[in-house]
Structure 1
Amino acid sequence: MAREIVLDTETTGFDPKTGDRMIEVGCIEIDDLLPTGRTFHRLIHPERDIPAGAIAVHGITLDKLRDAPKFAEVAADLLEFIGDAPVIAHNAAFDRAFLNHELGLCGSAIIEDARWIDTLQMAQMRFPGMANSLDALCRRFKISLTERTLHGALIDARLLSDVYLELKGGKARSLELVSVTTDTGGQDGPRRHGARPRPLAPRLTEAEREVHAAFVEAQLGDQALWLRA
């Protein structure tokens, strides 16, 4: 396996060809199907108004973006973060259209179709005829949605990274032995994943220990290998 980037965007609407623009982008880096802890997150001024219907989805108003950079100002940093990695998105055609439109507007090279991995298509092949939205997949894979009250690019990218790993075959998150702190550049607080589980406290009573010791002595005596020095 290799380095991959999970990406999500928030926008002013549904179609960049009719003037809609990107207002937020969030990326999660994974390597060999494990999150590395590296992220990229930017709010972006769309240089236009944001319709009420879009605000109801993501909660981002034009006032919140008053001091945000324009896309051309973040394009180089975003492309550097993505590098030559495959880009994973849910309903990838949507995010691809917006990202490549924005890249085209500022004269940057687009990300070719062949580099995109669509988790919606993956889910539809695995769960045909079922609801395969990001929310539905999170519920199906028992991925917590508690931190998500509105859509947000970085939050959704985090959720999608968990969904993608499940679609690739799943992994026991409780058995992860590494602890990774996610640095979101001040947008969100540090987030820790995969702390090593501590052993359970012993549940044997002293009386049970004595009974077991007597049994071992009676049955094995000094033949008990684990008692030898």
Structure 2
Amino acid sequence: MWPVRRPRALPNQPGPPFNAPAAQRLRAALGMGPEHVARDLRASYGMPYATPDLVIAWERGALTPTSSELTSLAGVLWCSQGELIGQPRTLREHRIARGLAPDDVARTLGLELAAYLRMEETGDWRGTDRQAAVLAALLDLSIPDFATVTGRDPKLAELLRSAVTTRWQAYVRPVAKLLPLDRRLLEVTLQELYDDYQGRMVATLSWGGGSDGSDRSGREFLDRILDLFWTRVSDRSPGV
């Protein structure tokens, strides 16, 4: 067996989420063995360290390809990079999944390349609302992904916690300013979350759980508030 050795990944350049089962499935569909993939990576893509064991390690999830390795692997397997990427989480991962170069995204957004790359590396979105809308269209982001990539999750979670613990009606407008969602959908969702939270608090006390049990139930609900919000929104608007 060939040893698995490769150069250390560059700082601040982790590989995107890798869909290991998809890589194995695509290789098998082409009738290639790991040794064939490794040979093509060495011969055609300038990866002298590529071995069958490295390919197997990728497919088993023991190692994740770097961005450059992923590009090369996609070339060997005759597929797009997006087919080898798992669920994107960050701005950089969404860009890679769409097969876009950073300078193309920066140019479309009207940003200097260095400024855009800083946003990718730090996860700190500094663009305007107009640029955020262009970004969402360019990367085909769902609304939950849009909120995550543009750094709106913490503010959204804060608003939602306040909505379910005080008066939900006062938070429809602030949430609407963060997210491009129908106002009526927001009203129904916030009211449901409020009713659910308040009902849990009352039920815990009525079951004899005491204030400690009520506090614990409330904290668990508030900790999951983002997931609960998006689940309710998706149930009422499946396309979101």
Normalised TM-score (structure 2): 0.24
Which structure has the bigger radius of gyration?
A: 1
Q: Which has the higher contact order (CA 8 A, sep 6+)?
A: 1
Greater helix share, 1 or 2?
Answer: 2
**TM-score normalised to the size of structure 1?**
0.24
